[in-house]
Structure 1
Amino acid sequence: MRVLALEGQKNLGSFIDFPHDLYREDSNYVPELYIAQRDMLTPGKHPFHDHSKVQLFLAYDDNNKVCGRIAAILNNNHNAYNQATDGFFGFFDCVNEQGVANSLFAAAEKWLKDQGATTAIGPVNFSTNETCGLLISGFDSPPVVMMPYNFPYYLDLIDRAGYRKKVDLLAYDVPYATHNDRSVRLLDTLQARLQRSNITIRKINIKDFKKEAAKLREVYNAAWDQNLGFVPMTEQEFDHMAKDLKLVLNPEFCLVAEQGDRFVGFVLGLPDLNQVLRKVKRGRLLPFGIFKILFGLKKIDWLRVLTLGVISDYRKLGIEACLYGLIIRNSVANNIKGAECSWMLEDNYLMNNAIEAINGTVSKKFRLFEKTI
């Protein structure tokens, strides 16, 4: 068995495709779109590479067959913002062999140490602003859009490689048939109270999306700045993400709270595209994948609420309850049966209690690990 450090585009296709072969018998696996993964991992295509470094590794067995992959990630913006010397690992997939996992981690850790990192944290792809965490419970259903999935044995592979828990992340299921609809019933009262403070809630304006996205970035970078592992998104990174999200964005599920011309909070829900993507073979849009997506969009019946935040000076005014109530009401009107709220830090008691108050229950848990290197 050998571990190869990738150079340029050589073997990038093998790196992206390895999970498709590894999970080919797993009915819950959802393939990432090949074109999106290729662009993400290519300098010049994704703005993360403008300020940070990524090194990809592939493990090959004695038959020259890929048996594992990992990315070593040096996030310079994270380290500057947090005054840290952290390194990260991500895109980890591996056969159930400890020797292969150990070799992959050793290669990633050596590269990170050579870059000056003293800690390895993961899995993250590339930061907590993107897909992150290892699934440790809730293997009985597919992941929702932009959430990770992995085999249960990964936990043992990472533990035995010397990594320890840093924090757990929670995903809550909120089926609308059994949720507590108090926030919906009180919407008129809550909104009237907010209006007395000149705070209104409305749908995102798609026709002026560029200007709206700039305001959303300000709220995002302000509302989440105290979260563990947070790093502000650059203008280029946020624009890149917003451009992708705009393709599937439904204004009914993207609501902003504003006071005058200032955004003070927002909630973003996405239709669970994974209900369609799991049917797109090996993540290829061509020749037939694009049609499966187009024809499947109208059949999606689940939502992922991936961000809900209010800047600190405006919390506990009822904005959060209004955003929850409105997105639930709009979802029901669009034949959505429920939502996954993910992810939430395990110690974010304010938000976790709010979700539990509407009868949300923890459906999946994810873990971030760390190791001194």
Structure 2
Amino acid sequence: MINIIPVTTKKQRAEFIDFPHDLYMGDSNYVPELFMAQDDLLNPDKHPFYKNSSAQLFLAYKDKKIVGRIAAIWNNVYNQYYNVSEGQFGFFDCINDQEVADKLFDTAVEWVKSKGGNKIFGPVNPSTNETCGMLIEGFDLPPMAMMPYNRPYYNELADNYGFTKQVDLRAYLVRSENANLRSVTLLDKLEERLKRSGIILRQIDLKNFTQEADKIKKVYNKAWDKNLGFVPMSDEEFAYVAKDLKMVVDPKYCILAEKENEIVGFAVGIPNINEVLIKIKRGRLFPFGIFKLLFGRKKIKTLRVMMLGVLEGYRKMGIEACLYGRIIKNAQASGIQSAECSWMLDHNYMMNHAIEQINGELYKKYRIYEKQI
């Protein structure tokens, strides 16, 4: 007998967060999410996403044991932005049992229908501004920072339920030993040419982080406006994300392109904190996880370039190449062995080609699924 129970208590929310730890026990590629961060993300009283939107968490029980979880999501901002009535699902984890998966998906679908939705897509956790996508290729390595992970059978569960591909998201790996250093070699010349147009490149100023983040937000909300599923972040949401990123940002990998004191492009790379988190049992920092986090950060050898955006009027001027060039140059000097560039839309040919030009290897793919309801 399978029972689907809505999460209504703090204890149930903790069980919702902890379920993947049991499901993936013994999986060497699984990286536990930090409990505190997940608890905040799923708490309507704490995370700004819920100021304008809503979600309901569900747990699946079989023989009194938790065997799956899912969140049904109604993103009002997304629906208003695109003038649609669509819901999402996220935080999907499940044992390899089609009946359990079907009941979880059915529950999310019925919840979205109750809101007036005629379509559901996901996984988004809880939006494309957080982790999203279901891993469909590249199961042999752990995920990089702020990227999802799942077992291969998840895709069969989704396909068998009737979900179809909406879009695939790409992750490229650039290895230091075979990276094309043309962008680094030409960096001085390219930057000199940009200077003649009044554009300079510089590292982010962490001492004035709030002001810097505010400038970046304006570019972010404009540069991504044609990406699938994109919704402009509110001031509160961006401040929330920026606060979290500040804890891991290294200025060497956060490069801004500026003209007349206004940011026209930026790239954000973060040390791959998953190298440390993978060793923190059940995502608990206390009592000993905090020491692993503090001491482990100095030994990180991989990097994730998670954002690169240039305003439309400044594209094809060489800014993108300079942003990548700066990050590659700084990463090599710091002993970084490889960097992931993610995620890219499958049909973003310009950006995909740019990464392939520096010998980026397409090594992971994630899928957003959809279904008319």
TM-score between the two structures when normalised by the length of structure 1: 0.99
Does 2:350 correspond to 1:347?
A: no
Look up the SS of the partner of 2:10 in the other structure.
coil
Letter in 2 for 1:51: N
CA shift for structure 1 position 25:
1.5
| Structure 2: distance between partners of 1:11 and 1:322 | 48
User: In the alignment, which residue of structure 1 is the partner of 2:160?
Assistant: 160
User: In the alignment, which residue of structure 1 is the partner of 2:179?
Assistant: 179
CA shift for structure 1 position 9:
2.3
User: In the alignment, which residue of structure 2 is the partner of 1:80?
Assistant: 80
Letter in 1 for 2:294: L
| Structure 1: distance between partners of 2:285 and 2:160 | 38
CA shift for structure 1 position 8:
4.2
Look up the SS of the partner of 1:336 in the other structure.
coil
| Structure 2: distance between partners of 1:145 and 1:135 | 14
User: In the alignment, which residue of structure 2 is the partner of 1:144?
Assistant: 144
| Structure 2: distance between partners of 1:216 and 1:222 | 10
- Residues 238-274 of structure 1, C-alpha deviations (whole Å, 9 max, x = no match): 0000001101111000010010111000000010000
| Structure 1: distance between partners of 2:300 and 2:226 | 34
Letter in 2 for 1:272: N
State how 1:19-168 maps to structure 2 within 5 Å.
19-62=20-63, 64-168=64-168
User: In the alignment, which residue of structure 2 is the partner of 1:190?
Assistant: 190
Look up the SS of the partner of 1:341 in the other structure.
strand
| Structure 2: distance between partners of 1:86 and 1:67 | 27
User: In the alignment, which residue of structure 2 is the partner of 1:281?
Assistant: 281
Letter in 1 for 2:202: R
User: In the alignment, which residue of structure 1 is the partner of 2:263?
Assistant: 263
| Structure 2: distance between partners of 1:349 and 1:168 | 13
State how 1:312-327 maps to structure 2 within 5 Å.
312-327=312-327
User: In the alignment, which residue of structure 2 is the partner of 1:203?
Assistant: 203
- Residues 58-86 of structure 1, C-alpha deviations (whole Å, 9 max, x = no match): 00012x11000000000100111111111
User: In the alignment, which residue of structure 2 is the partner of 1:2?
Assistant: 3
| Structure 1: distance between partners of 2:48 and 2:287 | 29
| Structure 2: distance between partners of 1:84 and 1:31 | 34
| Structure 2: distance between partners of 1:368 and 1:200 | 37
State how 1:292-307 maps to structure 2 within 5 Å.
292-307=292-307
- Residues 329-365 of structure 1, C-alpha deviations (whole Å, 9 max, x = no match): 0111111112000000010000000000011110001
User: In the alignment, which residue of structure 2 is the partner of 1:333?
Assistant: 333
| Structure 1: distance between partners of 2:139 and 2:11 | 33
| Structure 2: distance between partners of 1:316 and 1:281 | 45
CA shift for structure 1 position 126:
1.0
How many matched pairs?
372
User: In the alignment, which residue of structure 2 is the partner of 1:241?
Assistant: 241
Large movers: runs of 4+ above 4 Å: none
User: In the alignment, which residue of structure 2 is the partner of 1:11?
Assistant: 12
- Residues 133-186 of structure 1, C-alpha deviations (whole Å, 9 max, x = no match): 000010000000000000100000011111000001100000011011000000
- The share of aligned pairs that are identical, in percent, is 58
| Structure 2: distance between partners of 1:170 and 1:246 | 25
Letter in 1 for 2:15: S
| Structure 2: distance between partners of 1:264 and 1:133 | 29
Letter in 1 for 2:17: I
| Structure 2: distance between partners of 1:99 and 1:107 | 12
Letter in 2 for 1:97: D
| Structure 2: distance between partners of 1:207 and 1:134 | 37
Look up the SS of the partner of 1:222 in the other structure.
helix
TM-score between the two structures when normalised by the length of structure 2: 0.99
| Structure 2: distance between partners of 1:5 and 1:163 | 23
Look up the SS of the partner of 1:371 in the other structure.
strand
Look up the SS of the partner of 2:39 in the other structure.
helix
CA shift for structure 1 position 10:
4.2
Q: List gaps (5 residues or longer) in structure 2.
A: none
| Structure 1: distance between partners of 2:233 and 2:117 | 21
| Structure 1: distance between partners of 2:182 and 2:108 | 49
Q: List gaps (5 residues or longer) in structure 1.
A: none
| Structure 1: distance between partners of 2:138 and 2:54 | 32
| Structure 2: distance between partners of 1:155 and 1:188 | 46
| Structure 1: distance between partners of 2:361 and 2:332 | 19
| Structure 1: distance between partners of 2:249 and 2:356 | 26
